[in-house]
Amino acid sequence: MATDHLERGALAGVAGGLVYGLFVATVGNSFTAGLETFEHGHGGSGPVVSGLTTTITSVGGGVFWGLLFGVAVFGIGYYFLEPALPGTGATRRLALAGAGFLTVSGAPWLVLPPQPPGVEQALSTETRLAWYGGLMLAGALVAVACGVAYRRASSRSRPVTVAATLAPLALLAIPVVLSPANPVHGDVPAALVAAYRWTVVFGQSVLWGTLAAAHTWLGESATTSVDTDYPATAD
């Protein structure tokens, strides 16, 4: 039964990965390449691999990115968290997808927003890695807090439930205030940086949305509704 969940998570991951790979192939690669024209002397030596390799590997990376979330979040995570997720059917998947987005991208981006190539950041790579990891943990904790708040408030009226469920998100203001300043400098116009950031946000949203949709489409696991010790009989 756990392997059944894992399999469905992996299938959803393949679907999400293919859609996200297509996004990287059509939008991500060319947008990044275009932004690189603003770059001058990124670390001195330049890339060690050809453009074609980068294109293909990045598309593959996109596919595996979806597969990773499918297995980890919808395979393993959904198996354990299913009883605690709000609602039924698609609502549950969307709640889990929202929690996943918050953990992997949403919370870290509050301190370290996506930067286009050619923008130099003041903080060192190690510092940023540590902050990114810490904020992923913070995002996961806040997502759990939202789930607990939903449990407590679910018997109230709908607006109260919604407000109570989303209230823990305000906790993310704490790391934002505490984080060190990270001034950036680069020649990319501000409007283009905004367009790039929102493209990234929508790209990740499409990935999580596809994962949730594919996982919903696969239906409920047989073990979700009834879990008997007897083998199922076909008749």
Partner 1 sequence: MQATDDSVSNRIERARASLTGTQVAVALALVAALGFTLLFVQDPMLHDSLHNFRHSAGITCH
Q: Is 27 among the residues that bind partner 1 (CB under 8 A)?
A: yes
Q: Which of residues 166-205 bind partner 1 (CB under 8 A)?
A: 197, 200-201, 203-204
Contact map string, positions 31 to 70, toward partner 1, x by CB under 8 A: xxx-x-----------xxx---xxx-xxx-xx-xx-xx--
Nearest Cα to 200, choosing from 20, 8, 17? 20
The correct pick among 8, 11, 15, 28 for binding partner 1 (CB under 8 A) is: 28
CB of 235 to partner 1, least distance (A): 26
Q: State how far Cα 62 lies from the chain centre.
A: 12
Stretch that binds partner 1, among 87-95, 112-120, 155-163, 171-179 (CB under 8 A): 112-120
Query: Exactly one of 100, 116, 168, 175 binds partner 1 (CB under 8 A); which one?
Result: 116
Decide if residue 154 touches partner 1 (CB under 8 A). no
Q: Please, which residue, 6 or 169, has the CB nearer to partner 1?
A: 6
State the minimum distance, in angstroms, from the CB of residue 24 to partner 1. 5
Count of residues in contact with partner 1, rule CB under 8 A: 55
Phi, psi of 132 (to 5 degrees): -60, -45
* Residue partners of 44: CB distance under 8 A and separation at least 6: none
Rounded to a whole number of angstroms, the minimum distance from the CB of residue 114 to partner 1 is 3
| CA-to-CA dists, residue 140 to 104, 118, 135, 172, 192, angstroms | 8, 31, 8, 11, 30
CA distance 113 to 121: 11
Per CB under 8 A, 146 contacts partner 1? no
86 binds partner 1 (CB under 8 A): no
Contact of 220 with 1, CB cutoff 8 Å? no
Name beta bridge partners: 184. Answer: 121
The reply on whether position 228 binds partner 1 by CB under 8 A is: no
Q: Give the number of other Cβ atoms within 10 Å of residue 5's Cβ.
A: 20
CB of 159 to partner 1, least distance (A): 25
Q: Which residue shows structure tokens 């950036």?
A: 184
Q: Summarize as ranges the residues that interact with partner 1 (CB under 8 A).
A: 1-2, 6, 23-24, 27-29, 31-33, 35, 47-49, 53-55, 57-59, 61-62, 64-65, 67-68, 71-72, 76, 79-84, 105, 109, 112-117, 121, 125, 128-129, 132, 197, 200-201, 203-204, 227
